Structure 1
């Protein structure tokens, strides 16, 4: 009796089905199923025992899997029914099994050796997947499927884990009264209260909601998440060619969309507040990429001056601060939620666009992460040097526009 036949003989001290017997030898040979391996090993053992006048006991019910493999077609049908409710191109099957079955499998491995064995869940996933694939005519994807059908074999229940979709675009924000993303009410933390009129939000809408809500509805999703290449202040406009972003739609039941049609819808909904362009498919990797980028930005800044300052003095100050290296302590307005650190930033370009007696407009290009308002006001000495300090009178930003993000599409 060779080693494999002897191992099969030991294993069959328990009544095993061909699947569970063959799975012990999954790595011994290839090109056949575990069921076929089990049949071959059972036949080889029967011949060996027969030569010695012994018989192999007849198989009745599998001690290990409780004849679970006889229900493969039922599990596949349950998965197919659930999958028919959504749009997808690729899928994967997963299973939950009774922990007792896994305990039995580990016991068997400890008795006869599991070096060449395959886990029961791996075989279940594969065999059910083959049945589903043949029926739905969609591809199995082991790395990034559109959906995973998770079958609980104890109850026949199927749970769909739908992969999110990602949509890239650029937005412009015209309103100085809406934020980039949803802003939960500080008082109730989104639950709804008197302060927020039971909306759960600090602001009525946001750039995220203007595009995210229609897309969630269109795609049958559960929620949306906004990943922007930085953000502007609520009271700042985002102009020019817009700011890049990726919108993530969680658990979409539809995966096909007419981007031009949805652009028209969201731009109509956001009229006067924000608009969107360049919508296309994206991926999680692009989220990481845009979050990692730190592009320069170009601003138009309207500055009010307390008192009158002559043009020559303003010109001198602006020229002295052009290409200046500045140090900024975390601004007073955000220090309650960010680490109080000193950061060095460069004012790459600084020029006057217009000048009146008590205000002027600057155009400036800055290194990413520059606090523009504090560069103007000085923030009580927390930004050095500053426009206010250099001029010698208090200055405040009265209007701020981001007019360009210098990314790959806008290299300045």
Structure 2
């Protein structure tokens, strides 16, 4: 395809500004803005048409068409007694001439935010988009770029220069959307996601919300992180969850902290220490990390320690029966203590290792290595037959779990 001849065809049918003409050939050439490309095409077409005109070709109508949107051609025709009025661009109606002016509104909307990256979006009038599609379809072009892309890029380039920050389509801190009809700018602040892990030392702290037996929640304790970044709220995404009376020990439970609408996207990434909880140092995370964290929580191997009270004396010989539970798939109906789930639902999880030792003949210490998602208390006490097999079933005893700790998330 000869882009100059195609430009000639386009301008016969439509008056187009430099940007809208150049955008029709956006994929031809690299490192050239559409406005430059359109201006260059008009200049070369101007030279070609004048050459043909001087040598007798009947190109007056093509010259008139070009003159509608090209001042040098209007001057040339005027000198030859032909007057042509300037026309507005058929596609954009002139909005592309100074689209960078909208960067002022973006900068004002971003005042008070300390960001690292941003993205520009835009709302283009429907009639403009319709006219652009019409022109591209009529000319049968496959080299065109969307006007929305150009608007976003041109505004984004100037905003980036003024902020000294890069535009980033993949992980922007904020998205500023410009309405080209009203000039209004709306800013969406993406949440700040921070990867961490926590060690819970208390048996009266719940993970996400207050439940019976809880004095406070993990989210309350780590709210200092929200304050560091000036957010409006904090949400904890953890790889699984422990009951309020269960300690989380070892290297801690992997988690991602979500700070909503932060005023600052950089800040103190150190962890924190409280009497009930230790939070590991923070590092940036993504939404995909949250999805992976949730998915892995169902397959991660976890190691538990439990103390159980037996209704009858046990012997070392009884503990040999625990080997029968290694490598088995445990089937569990929803525990009676969990009322929010269907009681008929069944869960299947693998138990890899079970080791026990007697503290007294009625107090049993157990170490269970299993697949994530196993209801460990019910695996030990059997939950009146709702979990099978179970430690209680193997030992032929009624067991009451008095302490449970997570020792490791592998």
TM-score by length of 1: 0.81
Return the offset for 1:239. Answer: 2.3
Change in CA separation of 1:86 and 1:233 when aligned onto 2, cut-off 3 Å:
same
In structure 1, the partner of 2:251 is 241
The answer to whether structure 1 residue 32 and structure 2 residue 32 are counterparts is: yes
Of 387-396 and 66-75, more deviation after overlay is shown by 387-396
Q: Is the 8 A contact 1:5 1:44 kept in 2?
A: no
In structure 2, the partner of 1:349 is 354
- The count of aligned residue pairs is 376
In structure 2, the partner of 1:226 is 236
**CA-based RMSD:** 2.8
Change in CA separation of 1:278 and 1:303 when aligned onto 2, cut-off 3 Å:
same
In structure 2, the partner of 1:207 is 218
In structure 2, the partner of 1:198 is none
Q: Which structure has the larger Rg over C-alpha atoms? A: 2
Of 243, 251, 276, the match for 2:279 = 276
Q: Is the 8 A contact 2:321 2:395 kept in 1?
A: no
Q: Counterparts of 1:330-409 in structure 2 under 5 Å?
A: 330-333=333-336, 334=338, 337=341, 340-341=345-346, 343-352=348-357, 354-355=359-360, 358-405=362-409, 407=410
The answer to whether structure 1 residue 287 and structure 2 residue 290 are counterparts is: yes
Change in CA separation of 1:251 and 1:344 when aligned onto 2, cut-off 3 Å:
closer
Of 159, 176, 180, the match for 1:149 = 176
Q: Is the 8 A contact 1:331 1:379 kept in 2?
A: no
Change in CA separation of 1:12 and 1:350 when aligned onto 2, cut-off 3 Å:
same
Q: Distance in 2 between matches of 1:298 and 1:116?
A: 58
Return the offset for 1:234. Answer: 2.1
Q: Distance in 2 between matches of 1:297 and 1:354?
A: 23
In structure 1, the partner of 2:14 is 14
Return the offset for 1:385. Answer: 3.2
TM-score by length of 2: 0.81
Q: Is the 8 A contact 2:114 2:264 kept in 1?
A: yes
Change in CA separation of 1:202 and 1:71 when aligned onto 2, cut-off 3 Å:
farther
Q: Is the 8 A contact 2:28 2:143 kept in 1?
A: yes
The answer to whether structure 1 residue 302 and structure 2 residue 307 are counterparts is: yes
Return the offset for 1:121. Answer: 0.9
Change in CA separation of 1:43 and 1:364 when aligned onto 2, cut-off 3 Å:
closer
